[in-house]
Structure 1
């Protein structure tokens, strides 16, 4: 019985130590944060989060989707700390609903017409209707999809193109239509096909910014992110020249 009692004590001490380790891990995790990021900004945010970890030691996780999808998740209680939308409307709604705080414009987006084919006159093929499918993001969910719709209407093409248009729920699915060849042409964010200051492949035409409403993208701190050290540190980091160079390298306007 004495041996059994000793074993029980050892097991109890082990469990206490294990619980202590778990609590320590939870404390470290509490200093971290979770970002909800619109599809178009997913590439830049990955680079920013990695660089931020190097200079701060904080580890941030990222969830991505269309602005509409992420907004719906937030109002339904998703535990995000900071929301990077592709518009200003949804962050403003969150502020008005008492769910968001400290809204600010973090980038201005650019819409491009793109094909995975090299040396391809994308504008000419669009004007001639020389394609089977044309991809855009759903205008109801994604601001870049709305911008594409506005541009096509201004060019007088929307009605004739509608039967050939395929819509992604966000920019990532839209890009997949194009990269797999299921759509020959489409409109996506410049940041999806532009990295380190240059286009990374395919053929592109930058849609004139006068053809669509300015894509001002706003970020907003959410309830769980208020007074969280990692989020405060990331916001300070984001305003630095170091971070802004990364953002500019993806083709965003300042």
Structure 2
């Protein structure tokens, strides 16, 4: 029991440190938004803590990358990309195009596995299941305010989750974990996880009205247009909801209720005996 108590105390200290760190970041972000102060702290050695970039708010956004098998440039300035995995009869179509048109440049894109025997082939289809972070800043102050408070609420949700966990650790250290309060806290954690994702859904709808999508455009400053072999990089707000969190939240709520009822039945049976 003493072993677990020591581990619980270490976890409580770590959770408290994380809360302090995240809270300090929130304070710096709030100061930067309201008073235009720095969002980072620098040391005499040159190290910096915080966001050292320009103005803006980091938002979660889905990312998709498309790498074509072949990129073709024509003399009249047209450009196209082809992929064997996306077009049936690609080889025949491509050969006809080559025979009847003037090609100025053709580039093949291949992902290569660095194995010893070269027996492994890698497809160009990419799939990313999680969101990435992009910083957004607008000339519209309402947009900036919405993005700022959206990001802050997500951080406050993390702080609240850590606070609930610390409360659970404290109950455990008191030796009375199987009580009403602990099951209520566990239910709150499940509700919080679900609420954050539904909040994310609402914010996604608003963000798609402000920014339907983001796409990488590459322009050469010297020597004409260049598009890096036709690699297509898209961002949109459809992939930032963590649906597994909703399922986990529901499971946590159900388990807390089931275990609570089981403990109450056991206590009633013990009293009857």
Q: Same fold (TM over 0.5)?
A: no
| Structure with the greater alpha carbon radius of gyration | 2
Q: Select the structure with the greater relative contact order (CA < 8 A; seq sep ≥ 6).
A: 1
Q: Choose between structure 1 and 2: higher strand proportion.
A: 1
Shorter-chain TM-score tier:
under 0.3
User: If the length of structure 2 is used for normalisation, what is the TM-score?
Assistant: 0.20
